[in-house]
Amino acid sequence: MLKKNPENQNILSRARGGIKAALYELSVRTHQLFHKKGKAAKKSLGRTRRQDMIFYALMSAIPILHFLIFYVAVNINFILLSFKSFSLAQNDFIWAGFENFIKVIDDFKGNLMMIGALKNSLIVYAVNTFVGFLTGLLFAFYVYKKMPLANTFRLILFLPSIIPGLVLTMMYGYFVDRAVPSIVSLFTHTDEIGLLSAPSTQFVTILFYCIWTGFGSSVLINTGAMSGIDESIVESAKLDGAKLMREFFSITLPLIWPTLSIFLTVGIIGIFTSQMGLFNFYGAYAPNHLITLGYYMFATVQTALASGGSQAGYPYLSAMGLTMTAIVLPVTLFVRWALEKFGPKTY
């Protein structure tokens, strides 16, 4: 049986192990702190341990405070805001019941722009999942099997993930709007319009951008998960005559399924928040046929900020966010349940 060489563990696995150990240690310390209340226990808490506890308390105070302010408080405020509207008489937000939700539902029923945005959001998810995710998975397997130039490809594919989004958008924009038309013009001898400028090619070009930029992290995480597979299992399968295809479907896929199912579940959550990088490309002026729900909400807030920062429109956006949460939450739970129930299993 082959043993795993620690050096071969990738950074991700090691980081995951480190976080697990730290969390476990933290839970033990917390347990000790709150469950040894007796005098004897207190006395037994030596000076060193007390110092440790202070250290842990201080270290965890900031993230906990951060969590309380920027997650708990923000979300409570967001939920409350969705039931309010702005009152001029009181110059403040007042209770409005379900008024904002009714408007959101009306908009989804009658406003073709919102319906189009919903359609685009679903297309982005579907394409990211079925094209980006599947090809990412296959490519991760290619890298995992150390095929020719695997590491080079991995580096190239991961580059978009370490380049700041705005820079990447700019580079991509220049490529598709300037380089590509110039190259095509060499052959056609006509002036060509860029892929992001021509209305007919804008959506596909941005969709490709989404897949391309998401590809690197998908490959990296999947490769990380695959490298955690015990090589003795693979060796054994090979001795039994399993080919690559069999190895992929019968060993690799079942063993990394927990990672994949997290990917797919998180993807569902992203349906209503993904803005396809549209704000980076178009600012607040993206054409209607491109917008997604995530972009719509982001751009609306940005427009309010640009025009002086009136917050009167925020309750509507909060209600929209909450409505989307109401839709996406059961879907997410269902998908997670389905993936666990019907996904490949290891025995």
Contact set with other proteins (CB under 8 A): 86, 88-89, 91, 110-113, 116, 151-152, 155, 159, 162-164, 167, 170, 173-174, 177-178, 181, 191-194, 196-197, 199, 281-283, 285, 287-289, 302, 304-310, 312-313
Pick between residue 197 and residue 273 the one whose CB is nearest to other proteins: 197
Strand, helix or coil for residue 107: helix
Burial class (CB in 10 A: 0-12, 13-18, 19+), 336: middle
Strand, helix or coil for residue 86: strand
One-letter amino acid at 82 equals S
Confirm if 209 and 196 have CB atoms less than 8 A apart. Answer: no
Pick between residue 223 and residue 332 the one whose CB is nearest to other proteins: 223
Count each helix (H run) and each strand (E run) in the chain, helices first: 17, 2
Give the separation between CA 166 and CA 156, rounded to whole angstroms: 18
Pick between residue 7 and residue 240 the one whose CB is nearest to other proteins: 7
**Four-residue CA torsion sign, 250, 130, 298, 87:** negative
Pick between residue 61 and residue 94 the one whose CB is nearest to other proteins: 94
Q: How far is the CB of 104 from other proteins (least distance, A)?
A: 14
Pick between residue 160 and residue 321 the one whose CB is nearest to other proteins: 160
Q: How far is the CB of 211 from other proteins (least distance, A)?
A: 19
Q: How many CB atoms lie within 10 A of CB 295?
A: 25
Pick between residue 116 and residue 270 the one whose CB is nearest to other proteins: 116
Q: How far is the CB of 231 from other proteins (least distance, A)?
A: 20
Residues contacting 241, CB < 8 A, separation 6+: none
Distance of CA 162 to the CA centre of its chain: 15
User: How large is the greatest C-alpha to C-alpha distance in the chain, in angstroms?
Assistant: 89
**Four-residue CA torsion sign, 24, 25, 26, 30:** positive
Q: How far is the CB of 86 from other proteins (least distance, A)?
A: 7
Residues contacting 60, CB < 8 A, separation 6+: 26
Q: How far is the CB of 263 from other proteins (least distance, A)?
A: 24
Q: How far is the CB of 89 from other proteins (least distance, A)?
A: 5
Q: How far is the CB of 318 from other proteins (least distance, A)?
A: 16
